[in-house]
Amino acid sequence: MEMLNSLLQFNTPQFQSFILLVARFSGLFLTAPVFSNPVIPKMVKLGLMFFLGFIIFPFVEKIPLVYENPFTLFVALVKEFGIGVFLGFFVSLIFIGLQLAGQFIDYQTGFGLVNVIDPESQVQVPLAGRFLYILAALLFLIIGGHHLIIKSLAESFRVFPLGNFTFDLRLLAVINRTFVQLFFIAFKIAAPVVAAVFLAEMSYGVVARAIPQLNILIVGLPLKLGLGTYFLLLTLPFFFWIVKREFFNIFLSIRNLFQLLR
């Protein structure tokens, strides 16, 4: 009953607190994987933001004072929006790493000749990268990653209360480590396929010296495509294992970051 009263009896500080809360959710829905997908209708996203806001609002510490200056309120909204953008982008770095791995694979196997349009960014992306992205998105939903994102955002209200965010330089160190980890993820995923194709290209050189009459460029391209596809499918169990581990590591990093800033 008290929770229902807190939702229905809005005064000015509560109303402003709710607007700030929704602003943080809107930032998350702009950059977080799955939630930022443009296939989801905007009205559905808006309704989900307000629905989640009403659920979390009774448990969030409200702002003690009223923002009488519109500019001050605007600055607070931008800060809350930035927190949501940061959390969503932090998780999406894994998917960026997967597309980078796909670019490595396409460049070596010959799939780089063909690109597809990414419906989220509306730009051309590598074929293998899009394939790995879809598999990772399915795995993300299976392990409940969308729930973990919302849980992380809910925990952020304890570390960064509404209207009280101050930038900490320790955030930059965490971001730098995450970017470095992004390249390691891309390398670990692409390494088996790239290594196999590289060894095949070395063998092409031996064959070209042994049989000069053979046009190795005509014969080698289909073999590279087939070999790359075979090893890409062969390493899928390894791909699922490493991506699942990285998903949990990224949420663990977010939790450790919250404990550090508390």
Any idea where the domains of the chain sit in the sequence? 2-261
Whose tokens are 């930022």? That residue is 36
Residues in the chain, overall count? 262
> What count of other Cβ atoms lies within 10 Å of the Cβ of residue 154?
14
Angle between helices 236-261 and 216-234 (to 10 degrees): 60
Interior CA angle at 259 toward 257 and 261, to 5°?
Answer: 70
Q: Which residues of 165-180 are buried (b: 16+ CB within 10 A; e: fewer)?
A: beeeeeeeebeeebee
The whole-number pLDDT of residue 117 equals: 65
Profile the chain (262 residues) by mean pLDDT over runs of 10 residues.
50 76 87 83 86 82 68 82 86 84 79 65 72 87 88 83 70 75 82 81 73 68 78 86 87 78 64
Does the pTM exceed 0.75? yes
DSSP label of 69:
S
Q: Which amino acid is at 237?
A: P
Residue 48 burial (10 A CB sphere; 0-12, 13-18, 19+): middle
Residues 102/127, Cβ–Cβ less than 8 Å: yes
142, two tokens: 């299976």
Q: What is the Cα–Cα distance from 8 to 211, expressed in whole angstroms?
A: 83
The pLDDT assigned to 204 comes to: 72
Distances (CA, A) of 72 to 15, 28, 64, 164: 15, 22, 15, 12
Phi, psi dihedral angles at 88 (to 5 degrees):
-65, -45
Whether the Cβ atoms of residue 200 and residue 223 lie closer than 8 Å to each other: yes
